[in-house]
Amino acid sequence: MSMANNELGGPLVLAMVYKKLKEINEVSPLEHTIRFYIGPENIGAVAYLASPHKEDITIGNHLLKYLDAGYVINCVGLGPEYTYKESRKGNTLADRAAWNVLRHKPTYQSGSVSFMEFFPDGSDERQYCSPGYNLPVGVFMRKPYWGYSEYHTSLDNKLNWGVMEESVSTIVDIVLTADRGDEVWLGTVQMGTPQFSQCREDIYGSTMKLNSFNRPNLNRKILLDLCNFCDGEHSLLDIAEKRGYKMLDMLPMVERLNYLDYLRRIK
């Protein structure tokens, strides 16, 4: 089984990501359409982008109009580290979603998460991020191809199932973050702080505990931040970045505040 991490790991992880997202979508429909593509490296991406689309334009031109975020999955079967290569544009929704998820990995503080600017070498990102397309596509990797000597040899014959499962979970989180990251919500109370005691649920708490200012409850912090920064201008990902949250941790409170009529979505 040569070329295991380089060639086999990606398709296996992609298949598991597909299965997981399909299950999630059946319970709670995603905001975006998710498209999966597997093909020969580089030449396959070129052919795919140039292929005709149903609207009598190429798939590449269709993606230019509609793609919000995309990812190339490469070398995801080995290594404890995470490596993310940014899109050519940089600071796209795709990049920001990856930054948000990966910066909240326990290994981030130990230096096992790396971010790098785009460079015109590597895998299919060279095609997606070529000047004429310049699509918002980044690359998700674990131990990158330049980081292990077995790359492109017959000794590339190992995959770590635990690493692959972690890769699936992390990619799913990134996709879900990108799926909802550009949502904009507006608090129904803009002039002052909402009076939560009038709420039909106890979402704030009726007592103030000692040291609560030094170590405030996370849900309370998210509650107050959402009510303040949901001003019709900040997206959910904006708020998460500004306040240091993993965006997915905010979503339960967003839904709860929406149900209780403290937030409404405007975009």
The token pair at 167 is 């890769």
Q: What mean pLDDT is reported for the chain? A: 91
The token pair at 136 is 């918002």
Higher pLDDT: 30 or 56? It is: 30
54-113 pLDDT per residue, tens = 878 999 999 999 999 999 999 999 999 999 999 999 999 999 999 999 999 998 878 899
Sheet holding 113-116, edge to edge: 70-73, 137-141, 82-85, 113-116
The token pair at 213 is 């200012």
pLDDT of amino acid 55: 78
Q: How far apart are the first and last CA of the chain?
A: 48
Q: Answer yes or no: pTM beyond 0.95.
A: no
203-255 pLDDT per residue, tens = 666 555 545 444 457 888 999 999 999 999 999 999 999 999 999 999 999 99
Q: Band the pLDDT of 194: cuts 50, 70, 90.
A: confident
* CB 11 within 8 Å of CB 77: no
Q: What is the mean pLDDT of residues 143-170?
A: 91
The token pair at 120 is 């015109």
pLDDT of amino acid 214: 47
Q: What is the rounded CA–CA span in Å between residue 2 and residue 8?
A: 9
Give span(s): CATH 3.40.630.10, the chain: 4-180
How many Cα neighbours within 13 Å face the side chain of 52? 3
DSSP string, 3-49: SIIIIIHHHHHHHHHHHHHHHHHHHS--SS-------STTHHHHHHH
CATH architecture for the domain at 4-180: 3-Layer(aba) Sandwich (3.40)
The token pair at 4 is 């295991």
